[in-house]
Chains A and B, each alone.
Chain A
Amino acid sequence: MIPTVEQIRELLSAGGAKSALLVDREELVAVANFLKTDPQLRFDFCSCVTAVDYLQQGYIEVVYHLYSVALKHGPLALKVRAPRALEQCRVPSLTLVWRGCEFQEREAYDLFGVKFDGHPDLRRILMWDEFVDHPMRKDYVPPMDYEWEPTPHGETLARAKAQGGYVPASAREAGK
């Protein structure tokens, strides 16, 4: 459901953490377009895009912070949730609405594994292309030893999980 101008104004005047608008994935693009084009709101500046992994609640939340350069108001946090499982962790991309999302959505994909449907160039941006996991997820297990196994997967991942995570080589040597 697309919010009304009054609802957005109320959120903005609430300020702080309260000025957040949680929308369904199916409506995200429509709501974004409304916020951007409505002459009384004109959120033309998508400042910050990121994701938060709520492990216990079982979802990943993508957060967009919107400002209006034209009317000089904001921020409005636009939030959308997706299940944590990698196949279902999909959110429509807002890159075509705000170009500024392009690199930031790539970063969220790289570090959280959120797939942005409709993104023109969804690739890893900070980690290297061969990397397999998404390191900002709360259940990510760092590798045993970055020197010989930079990416934890397969046996290394199982071993790292069994031993409770990354142990520096120097510490292991000292323990022998």
Chain B
Amino acid sequence: MSGTGFIETQTLEVSLGPQHPSTHGVFRMDVVLEGETVVKLKPVMGYLHRNHEKLAENMTWLGSMPYTDRLDYFCSMTNNWAYALAVEKMTGLKVPERAEYIRVIMAELTRLLNHACAIGFLFSDCGAWFTPILYALRERERILDFFETVSGARMMCNYMRFGGVRVDLDDAAMAMARDLVARWPAFLDEFEKLLLGNEVFLARTQGVGILPRELAINASISGPMARASGVEYDIRKVDKYGVYDRFDFRVPVGERGDVFDRFMIRLLEMRESVKILQQALRDIPPGPVLAPEAKLRNFKVPAGDGYARIEAPKGELGFYLVSDGGTKPYRYHVRPPSFINLTVLEDMCLGHKVADVVIILGSVDIVLGEVDR
């Protein structure tokens, strides 16, 4: 029993979700409220669980490549890359230089569309219903058009292969990519002008959902969420996988780790991605896009285990694979960034109003295909 003194209140259990637009999919939060204040919060997931890992263990190595598209269905290109990287690490396949550049182009375009949409949805969660997200979706459509031109599919691209990528970018596709990237600086200016001066947004996000730096590291938080909390850690810089050591870009880092910082980090990261894209499109060399020794049929991986990770738009996406030397993985584990980033959801929400829970969840940027696998 508690309250303001003269009105007696009781704590109230509310089940937020699973069928609610603010949960970004079928995700539920069991929240205990005292008045409007959150005193306890337990995330409940698994509604979209289809045991991706078990399915992959019963398929050939390459057979689960299209399935990785369905993990984080916004970012199929980066999912492909993480899986291909893990297998390449175990087999020692060398990726041709042109394929490395194409991978960077695809991954950074994915980051652009993911961050733009994450910001758009965050504004939807704040009540700016569908105007900001439509600006993001407009640009996303152009990127998806490009993905469709190259890979044949808009979202489920299934584009990368062990030792390279499936098809080369021809001149028309390169011209399309250049046009696409040339639009982005102006779009980002427009987007920033539209969003950043919004007083309601500032009032609702600054100082809300603070994640301290120590907790972010200790709780394995990765990606824009960790960087918003002041963790200067970007796997593109630390591991230098692919050809990321050849590009000049900076890693924006936040100060306070609140919802606003997580929004701002994504905005700044998009500008860095545009810089990477401009350099990659300028420097991309001619040549093959698939290693000649890469086999599609009867592909085997030497016995042993390996872990590879990339900086996916949502954080550290890793694959832990165990091979017994056969044509199927013995063990196939995905380290999903948005699942692990939910570990601290309760810590960020405690003491805030129930309306803020929706915004805090929006700032984590989850995709349930990846959380539940």
- Across the interface, do A47 and B343 meet the contact criterion of CB distance under 8 Å? no
Other A-B pairs beyond A75-B307, A100-B218, A126-B51, 17, CB < 8 Å:
A45-B220, A47-B318, A47-B335, A48-B307, A48-B333, A50-B320, A50-B331, A52-B305, A52-B322, A65-B307, A98-B219, A103-B339, A103-B340, A103-B342, A104-B220, A126-B372, A135-B54
Given A69-B233, A77-B307, check contact A126 B373 (CB 8 Å): yes
A72 lies within 8 A of chain B by Cβ: yes
A145 lies within 8 A of chain B by Cβ: no
A46 lies within 8 A of chain B by Cβ: yes
Q: Which of A16, A99, A128 is the one whose CB lies under 8 Å from B343?
A: A99
Tell me the A87-103 residues at the B interface (CB within 8 Å): 98-103
Q: Which residues of B contact A125 (CB under 8 A)?
A: 45-46
A158 lies within 8 A of chain B by Cβ: no
- Across the interface, do B309 and A47 meet the contact criterion of CB distance under 8 Å? yes
Q: Which 6 A-B pairs have the closest CB atoms?
A: A100-B220, A99-B219, A126-B46, A48-B335, A50-B333, A126-B49
- Across the interface, do B51 and A136 meet the contact criterion of CB distance under 8 Å? yes
A17 lies within 8 A of chain B by Cβ: yes
A22 lies within 8 A of chain B by Cβ: no
Q: Which of A50, A53, A100 is the one whose CB lies under 8 Å from B219?
A: A100
A168 vs B316: C-alpha distance in the bound complex, in angstroms? 37
Contact with A along B305-319 (1 / 0, CB 8 A): 111010000001010
Chain B residue at minimum C-beta to C-beta distance from A52: B331
A127 lies within 8 A of chain B by Cβ: yes
Q: Can you list 16 A-B pairs with a CB-CB distance of less than 8 A?
A: A17-B304, A48-B309, A50-B320, A52-B330, A63-B305, A63-B320, A75-B307, A100-B218, A100-B340, A102-B343, A103-B340, A103-B342, A104-B340, A125-B45, A126-B45, A135-B51
- Across the interface, do B215 and A99 meet the contact criterion of CB distance under 8 Å? yes
- Across the interface, do B218 and A98 meet the contact criterion of CB distance under 8 Å? yes
Q: Which residues of A contact B305 (CB under 8 A)?
A: 17, 20, 52, 63, 77
Q: Which residues of B contact A17 (CB under 8 A)?
A: 90, 304-306
Tell me the minimal C-beta distance from B149 to chain A in angstroms.
35
Tell me the minimal C-beta distance from B254 to chain A in angstroms.
15
In the complex, which range does the number of interface residues on chain A fall in? 20 to 34
Q: Which residues of A contact B218 (CB under 8 A)?
A: 44, 98-100
B14 lies within 8 A of chain A by Cβ: no
Tell me the minimal C-beta distance from A113 to chain B in angstroms.
14
Q: Which residues of B contact A111 (CB under 8 A)?
A: 51, 53
Given A17-B305, A17-B306, A48-B320, check contact A127 B340 (CB 8 Å): no
Contact with A along B194-225 (1 / 0, CB 8 A): 00000000000000000000010111111000
B231 lies within 8 A of chain A by Cβ: yes
Tell me the minimal C-beta distance from B255 to chain A in angstroms.
17
B7 lies within 8 A of chain A by Cβ: no
Q: Which residues of A contact B320 (CB under 8 A)?
A: 48, 50, 63, 65
Q: Which residues of B contact A104 (CB under 8 A)?
A: 220, 340
B89 lies within 8 A of chain A by Cβ: yes
A98 vs B215: C-alpha distance in the bound complex, in angstroms? 9
Tell me the minimal C-beta distance from A109 to chain B in angstroms.
13
A65 vs B335: C-alpha distance in the bound complex, in angstroms? 10
Q: Which of B46, B318, B343 is the one whose CB lies under 8 Å from A65?
A: B318
Q: Which residues of B contact A99 (CB under 8 A)?
A: 215, 218-220, 343-344
A29 vs B242: C-alpha distance in the bound complex, in angstroms? 35
Q: Which residues of A contact B186 (CB under 8 A)?
A: none
B1 lies within 8 A of chain A by Cβ: no
Chain A residue at minimum C-beta to C-beta distance from B214: A44
